Structure 1
Amino acid sequence: MPPLTPDRRYIVVRGRLWRAANPNLDEACRTRLTAELMAARRTVRAARAAGDKPAEDAAHGAVHRAKVALGERGPVWWTDGAPDLNRRMARNTPYAEWFAALPADP
């Protein structure tokens, strides 16, 4: 599991912040949406392998819709007015001190 910021808003992958799923979603909803996301990603891979550009485009749309529903894209799910730092390098954000204190990857 990648590190999760203390406020649970982002995961950190290779030093970059990625918006985490909304922790306020109930478990059944999160499980369903995650299954939809993974199925859509498999469809992207299959369509790409088949060279089917229209199917790949449709599958990318399904990935996007699932990510929006999970809160990973689209409007932020938090309500305190904090900016969205998605895709920024953690070292260049207010999370820099927290990030620097994480153990180094083995």
Structure 2
Amino acid sequence: MSRCPPHTPDGRYFVVIGKAGPRLWRAANPELAAEEREKQVSELMSARRAVREATGDSDLAAARTRVNSAKIALGERGPVWWTDGAPDLNRRLVQGTCYADWWARR
């Protein structure tokens, strides 16, 4: 079954097509317990709403800090969640990475 957006074969990244081309974005840690994932996704959505509704610089900064904290808890930012020593390619264009051939064959 195909996932949308497409995920790399190892599940570490999903691909987003932008103006510069396809870019890798780190996926959430699949080892998170369902309850923890739900909690953090809920916090992320709440924090994103707070960003949208912020009325001043301090409100906006606090909301963005919440977004970042939730993304770190999900494994989308901060230390990588895999343990094989592979580098983090988050936000890099697919071309020029170890996923370039995979992407070209899709």
The TM-score, its normalising length taken from structure 2, stands at 0.91
Alignment correspondent of 1:10: 13
- What letter corresponds to residue 88 of structure 1 in structure 2? R
SS in 2 for 1:72: coil
Q: 1: distance between equivalents of 2:104 and 2:48?
A: 32
Alignment partner of 1:92 is 2:96 = yes
Alignment partner of 1:73 is 2:80 = no
Give the length in aligned residue pairs: 99
Alignment correspondent of 1:45: 52
- What letter corresponds to residue 62 of structure 1 in structure 2? R
| Structure 1 residue 92 displacement after superposition | 1.4
Q: 2: distance between equivalents of 1:86 and 1:37?
A: 19
Over aligned residue pairs, what C-alpha RMSD do you find? 0.7
| Structure 1 residue 90 displacement after superposition | 0.7
Q: Which runs of 5+ in 1 are unaligned?
A: none
Match of 1:23 among 2, 9, 30: 30
The TM-score, its normalising length taken from structure 1, stands at 0.91
Give the percent of matched residue pairs that are identical in Structure 1 and Structure 2: 59
SS in 1 for 2:86: coil
Match of 2:40 among 5, 8, 33: 33
